[in-house]
Structure 1
Amino acid sequence: MSALTYQERPAAGRAEGLLVLHHGRGADDRDLLGLGDVLDPERRLHVVTPRAPLTLDGWPGYHWYVVPRVGYPDPATFRAAYDRLAAFHDELWERTGVAPERTILGGFSMGSVMSYALGLAGERPKPAGILAFSGFVPTVEGWQPDVSSRAGRTRAFVAHGRRDPVMAVDFARRAKELLEAGGVELEYHESDAGHHIDPAHVPAAVEWVATTLPSPAGERAA
């Protein structure tokens, strides 16, 4: 069992998909629950927001891994969080009966890093989408992205601020190059925002979620 604490917001009726949102550094499982309502205003999806497992002396909230250098997670704490989050996703798919191919893994900042990590790992199920606000594809010992295995199966939405002082926009541009080179269908946005979710990017994200997980009667062409 992963034993991760989490919040969830059920769909209004039978869930047409899963939206799993991973919070950023120093936040908790309640931080992005409201974003689920924004991204899924019709409440078609079951929204789940897990809490990171790590607490650090002198830091508030919860963390997915230790940060020795931005872009390069500490391998031991990253692997521990990766394993627990993988178990959490597996339990979630089993409990809800919603398959990975009807799931979007998303998040902000450090939560985007974990969405990339679980969404692009060749050993993991292929989600329908990866939604990355102000994050990066990690460089970390023991993990490598398998982007080509996601081509035609997983879509991506990347949004980042050019004035981000925490995670430079160059990380998003590298992710763009990596995803496009691997054949992943990508929607990419930049703005002059800092390290936050820019409201200007939200309408596009809402539309992207709707088209990535359409109602069964309106499935995208394969």
Structure 2
Amino acid sequence: MGTVVSAIGIRALERPAAGEPEGALVLLHGRGADERDLFPLLDALDPERRLLGITPRAPLSLPPGGAHWYRLGGIPTPDPETFWPTFDAAAAFLDALPVPMEQVVLGGFSQGAVMSWALGLGAGRPRPAAILAMSGFMPEVPGFELELGGLDGYPVAVVHGSLDPVIPVEFGRAAAKRARAAGADLLWRETPVPHTIDPRLLPELQAFVAAAVPMAERN
């Protein structure tokens, strides 16, 4: 397990890069999990440890337990009263990273995927190097807008299980369709699994992360 770090009211685990970080990989866990849940995925997606790896813990403690990014308000409509404070805290956390956002691959699973869309494409937010959305949806919250303009060639990966009983695959398909229509360089994968990350997709996702942050030139 990596070093525990905290900033702006959000606690996180950090997996150091093997050398000078060439960027960062930030993974946001799903509802009721915690910062340890996706920590092993850091090495799976960045085995050479080129990137600083960070898994934040969602700031809310809600029933039935674990950490939450927002209170459930339906799909695709997070509860606004909890979404907005979390969005502000998570945005401040990302802005305080020692790596600029244009070198950060931002991804997440379930609620973490929802927040990845929000934090990566929210109006006025700096755009990360790429977005990896796993088994989630693009959020619809009063007063909140996604900036989908100017995505020509922008790397986006959306993966979803066709057997997902928690967030139906139609929401993943809709997010992928919107990203593709906006011109994103889209990796879309739908596989016959429930609400989980299909391990068969890891090689493709590893390549996606590697390509999103080009390898630094060495002297």
Tell me if both proteins adopt one fold, taking TM over 0.5 as the criterion.
yes
Structure 2: stretches of 5+ with no match in the other structure: 1-6
Structure 2 equivalent of residue 9 of structure 1: 15
Q: Number of residue pairs matched?
A: 212
Structure 2 equivalent of residue 155 of structure 1: 155
Whole-Å separation in 2 of the counterparts to 1:110 and 1:86: 15
Equivalence map 1:81-160=2 (5 Å): 81-92=86-97, 96=98, 98-152=99-153, 154-160=154-160
- Offset of residue 121 of structure 1: 1.1
Whole-Å separation in 2 of the counterparts to 1:78 and 1:12: 35
Aligned AA (1:34): P
Whole-Å separation in 2 of the counterparts to 1:54 and 1:144: 23
Aligned AA (2:59): P
Structure 2 equivalent of residue 202 of structure 1: 202
Aligned AA (1:64): W
More strand by share: 2
**TM-score (norm: length of structure 2):** 0.93
- Offset of residue 165 of structure 1: 0.2
Contact 1:134-1:160 within 8 A present in 2 as well: yes
Map Cα deviations across residues 58-81 of structure 1 (whole Å, 9 max, x no partner).
Answer: 312000001121211001100011
Contact 2:9-2:59 within 8 A present in 1 as well: no
Alignment RMSD? 1.3
Whole-Å separation in 1 of the counterparts to 2:91 and 2:60: 15
- Offset of residue 151 of structure 1: 3.1
Contact 1:148-1:184 within 8 A present in 2 as well: no
Moved >4 Å (runs of 4+): none
- Offset of residue 178 of structure 1: 0.7
Contact 1:100-1:128 within 8 A present in 2 as well: yes
Structure 1 equivalent of residue 48 of structure 2: 42
Whole-Å separation in 2 of the counterparts to 1:185 and 1:217: 24
SS in 1 for 2:217: helix
Whole-Å separation in 1 of the counterparts to 2:204 and 2:158: 11
More helix by share: 1
Map Cα deviations across residues 175-195 of structure 1 (whole Å, 9 max, x no partner).
Answer: 011111111111110000100
Structure 1 equivalent of residue 4 of structure 2: none
